[in-house]
Amino acid sequence: MNFHGKDIKIFTANANPALGKRIAAELGLPLGEAVVERFSDGEIAVGIKESVRGSDVFMVQSTSEPVNDNLMEILIMIDAFKRASAGSVTAVIPYFGYARQDRKAKARDAISARLVADLITVAGADRTLTMDLHSPQIQGFFSIPLDHLQGVPLLAAYFKSKFPNEHLICVSPDLGSVTRARNMSAKIGVGLAIIDKRRQKANVSEVMNIIGDVKDKSVIIVDDMVDTAGTLCNAAKALIEIGGAKEVYASATHGVLSGPAIERIEKSYIKELVLLNTIDIPQEKLIDKIKVIDTAELFAQTIQRIYEAQPVSPLFS
């Protein structure tokens, strides 16, 4: 593609190369030639194998595990593109790590989300494109334009086709996910329930109460990410054992799936967990209960709109 004399190039590093290739294919472009290697002491070495002078570069990389390595790859590649005279560099970060540290929850806490936003900006990114930040207010941490995509339309379309006539209800697993669950329920056209829980410490939660009627209904738990799956599996247990739900499905944009997540999901009441491919999930974690929906078309459409200076908001629906 060529727009006002500029061409567009898609690059990826090591976090999610499969998604980068699919995005490039959706745009009808070859994936840019780049090599991201390690020196013997672990330092990252980047080699851009083609000219990017004057090009609009879109660099696809999630900051998933290993988080720090993938973050450094983003920063070093952005620097390399800017020093190679790229016309513009957009950091396409489908999953933005460190987003849970967005405020001082207690004395002497770091606000890591703001620090990472600053690092990406200082490295030379002209724009950021991401999906479902853990806290929407992180958008304000960036001093460069940020486009924030939503995963709910993709997830809602899947469940709407799966249960065209089913008696459904969407459930927020905690108070922080109410807006997301409400959006999902509105798109599917079903009711909403909320689980009130008390978190004792990080990655450990205790379900306390269910607000809403889930008895004899098929429920869909709606969250932004699944990390250790403790919250998700506890919510599913409460919905069945306390609320009397008929069956439990779950959905989330980001499948972090760390620690005991897979074992917990396998043993849980959850019938199916639907995730988006913002994070590259290893084959050994793709158990029968997990279904992954592709985001490449949505990211490709967004990239094309950014490239052509068109509004992105029509894609939110």
As annotated, the active-site residues are 197
| Residue carrying the six token digits 């290993």 | 66
Question: Is-contact 141 117, C-beta < 8 A?
Answer: yes
| Distance between CA atoms of residues 94 and 275, nearest Å | 13
Q: Which residues, 6 or more positions from 100, have their beta carbon under 8 angstroms from its beta carbon?
A: 113, 134, 135
| Distance between CA atoms of residues 220 and 108, nearest Å | 37
Q: Which residues, 6 or more positions from 257, have their beta carbon under 8 angstroms from its beta carbon?
A: 226, 227, 229, 279, 281, 285
Residue length of the chain = 317
CA distances from 76 to 90, 106, 224 (A): 14, 32, 28
CA distances from 28 to 51, 149, 266, 297 (A): 19, 22, 39, 11
Question: Is-contact 226 249, C-beta < 8 A?
Answer: no
Q: Coil, strand or helix: which one is 16?
A: coil
Q: Interior CA angle at 65 toward 78 and 45, to 5°?
A: 40
